[in-house]
A and B are shown apart, each in its own frame.
Chain A
Amino acid sequence: AQSVTQLGSHVSVSEGALVLLRCNYSSSVPPYLFWYVQYPNQGLQLLLKYTTGATLVKGINGFEAEFKKSETSFHLTKPSAHMSDAAEYFCAVSRTGANSKLTFGKGITLSVRP
Chain B
Amino acid sequence: GAVVSQHPSWVICKSGTSVKIECRSLDFQATTMFWYRQFPKQSLMLMATSNEGSKATYEQGVEKDKFLINHASLTLSTLTVTSAHPEDSSFYICSATFRVKSVNEQFFGPGTRLTVL
What residues make up the interface of A, taking CB atoms closer than 8 Å to B?
A: 9, 32, 36, 41-46, 49, 51, 90, 98-102, 104-107, 109
Inter-subunit contact B111/A42 (CB<8 Å) = yes
**Which residues on the B side are within 8 Å of A42 (C-beta)?**
110-111
Inter-subunit contact A98/B113 (CB<8 Å) = no
Report the count of interface residues on B (CB-CB < 8 A).
Answer: 25
Inter-subunit contact A41/B108 (CB<8 Å) = no
Residues A43 and B43 in contact in the complex (CB < 8 Å), given A100-B97, A101-B34: no
Stretch at the interface among B68-76, B78-86, B98-106: B98-106
Residues A104 and B32 in contact in the complex (CB < 8 Å), given A41-B111, A45-B108, A46-B105: no
Residue in A42, A43, A109 whose Cβ sees the most chain B Cβ within 10 Å: A43
B100 to chain A, nearest CB (A): 9
Inter-subunit contact B42/A49 (CB<8 Å) = no
Per-residue CB contact flags for chain B residues 1-16 toward chain A (1 = under 8 Å, else 0) read 0001010000000000
The DSSP consensus for interface residues of chain A is: loop
Residues A106 and B43 in contact in the complex (CB < 8 Å), given A43-B109, A44-B93: yes
Inter-subunit contact A100/B108 (CB<8 Å) = no
Residues A107 and B42 in contact in the complex (CB < 8 Å), given A43-B109, A45-B108, A46-B105: yes
Question: Would you list the 3 A-B pairs with minimal beta carbon distance, nearest first?
Answer: A100-B104, A43-B108, A44-B108
Q: 30 A–B contact pairs at CB < 8 A?
A: A36-B108, A41-B91, A41-B113, A42-B110, A42-B111, A43-B4, A43-B108, A43-B109, A43-B110, A44-B44, A44-B93, A45-B108, A46-B105, A49-B105, A51-B101, A90-B43, A90-B44, A99-B32, A99-B49, A99-B104, A100-B32, A100-B103, A100-B106, A101-B46, A101-B49, A102-B46, A102-B106, A105-B43, A107-B42, A109-B41
Inter-subunit contact A32/B43 (CB<8 Å) = no
**Which residues on the A side are within 8 Å of B97 (C-beta)?**
100
Give CA–CA (A98, B31) in the complex, Å.
11
